[in-house]
Structure 1
Amino acid sequence: MKTGRIIMVVGNGTVPAGAGAMIDAGDLVIRFNDCRSVGAGGTRTDIVAVCNTGRPARIMLEGGQWKSNEAVQRAREIWSVRSGAKFTQMRAELIKTYPDLGDFCDDYTAGFERFSRETSRSHRIVPVSVHEQLDQDLTRFGSQPYVAPSSGMVVIADIISHFATSDDDVVLTGFDHVGWELHPFAAERQYVEALAAGGRLRRL
């Protein structure tokens, strides 16, 4: 029986019916980007993890809608999922293969840092070592060539390796492992199932 915190990691995918109250009862609730999980997935939001490079980051920072999002307003921390330096290094090779991704590596971390500072929130950047270790771990599941792991998978790996203690109960919901074709979702699903089988986390 786990005796530490209940850490709810809520993706933007399908959340089981009636799960909102259970999610809100957690000790820590982490959501992603525009927090589409709010509603059926409860309302409590302690941390918002953001994709801090490329078009999604630019849209979140420029539009004003993200900044006034009720879930973002509730959060006490913003986590930037990607290392700006790593993605800057990726740019030259990436656009050779995917010329339409010319802005994929644009780094908006400073904008999220500024927003956090101006609104009295903490800001944290997920260590680049998490991304690099995840790349290695995903090869065990035969992942096809991909551009980058999904933000959700990076955060899961970060929580398991750096954030949660052995006494914490890490609970996932809202992760369908489908979406952008240049994320390795099939391998990510297998990796999550392996973590669950090893008792590192569980699905709601």
Structure 2
Amino acid sequence: MARKTAIIVGNAELERDLSGVVDDAQFVMRFNEPNLAGGMSGERTDMIMMAASSKILYRRLLDPGFLDNAALKAAKVLMLAYHPNIIRKYHPRPNIFQRLRGQKADWTMQAIERMGNVGKEIRIMPPQTYVEGCNELGIAGPRMREVFPSTGFLGIGYTLAKFPLSDWDVKLCGFSWQGWKRHDWQNERLWVQNKIANGRVTLLA
């Protein structure tokens, strides 16, 4: 029996139209607030991996048009990548001036309320999954309060753990491995390259 296809779509620009390949897959994961305006990554969205520790998410939650995003509308499951215990233990806390402006480190409950009210299934990544991800990237000790695995890395790891090689072909597209300075982009890229070399992941180029 032929293997099924899972495609993990990052938010970087694509070099060619992959919409047909993506929409024909049996599972598609995207991240945070996917941009489908270009149409090159298709529309299918089964799961969105989202960071609830970001002030950017809070601004999105306040936006009345946030849930008009086509991918968010289509998504069956919203996975919050950072468990509240992880945010509390490792992620940076706003200073007093930021707190006075209403900024917090954790917007988990607000995300659950806003998106649960529109019928989405909400899941939260277990703390141990985050710790195991840090171990794979060599992030340990005090450095765990300075460097954080990205939603992309955690999403790929989740997919590989849930979808066995015997049944699934996992493909990636739209990853640039750059962005927020607190992610270890170099080691995350090397980790993915190792998965590619071992035949666990393939790239859609």
- TM category, shorter: 0.7 to 0.9
CA distance in 1 between counterparts of 2:95 and 2:115 reads 32
Name structure 2 gaps, 5 residues minimum.
none
Instruction: Please list, as runs of the form range in 1=range in 2, the aligned pairs for 1:89-128 lying within 5 A after superposition.
Output: 89-91=89-91, 94=92, 106-128=105-127
AA aligned opposite 1:186 = Q
Compute the TM-score of the two structures, normalised by the length of structure 2.
Answer: 0.84
CA distance in 1 between counterparts of 2:85 and 2:201 reads 30
User: Which residue of 1 is the match for residue 195 of structure 2?
Assistant: 195
* Structure 1 contact 23–44 (Cα < 8 Å) conserved: yes
Name structure 1 gaps, 5 residues minimum.
none
CA distance in 2 between counterparts of 1:184 and 1:82 reads 16
Q: Moved runs in structure 1, 4+ residues, more than 6 A?
A: 102-105
- Structure 2 vs 1, CA of residues 105 and 188 (structure 1 numbering), >3 Å: closer, same or farther? farther
Cα deviation per residue 1:143-181 (whole Å; 9 max; x = unaligned)?
A: x984211111111111112x2122111111111101112
* Structure 2 contact 52–106 (Cα < 8 Å) conserved: yes
Instruction: Please list, as runs of the form range in 1=range in 2, the aligned pairs for 1:1-204 lying within 5 A after superposition.
Output: 3-37=2-36, 39-91=39-91, 94=92, 106-139=105-138, 146-161=146-161, 163-166=162-165, 167-204=167-204
CA distance in 2 between counterparts of 1:24 and 1:105 reads 37
Compute the TM-score of the two structures, normalised by the length of structure 1.
Answer: 0.85
CA distance in 2 between counterparts of 1:81 and 1:199 reads 25
Cα deviation per residue 1:1-60 (whole Å; 9 max; x = unaligned)?
A: x83321111000132302111111111111111102552211111212111112122122
Local SS of the residue matching 1:67:
helix
* Structure 2 contact 195–201 (Cα < 8 Å) conserved: yes
AA aligned opposite 1:84 = P
* Structure 1 contact 37–174 (Cα < 8 Å) conserved: no
* Structure 1 contact 52–107 (Cα < 8 Å) conserved: yes
CA distance in 1 between counterparts of 2:186 and 2:95 reads 24
AA aligned opposite 2:106 = D
* Structure 2 contact 51–82 (Cα < 8 Å) conserved: yes
Local SS of the residue matching 1:175:
coil
Give the aligned length: 195
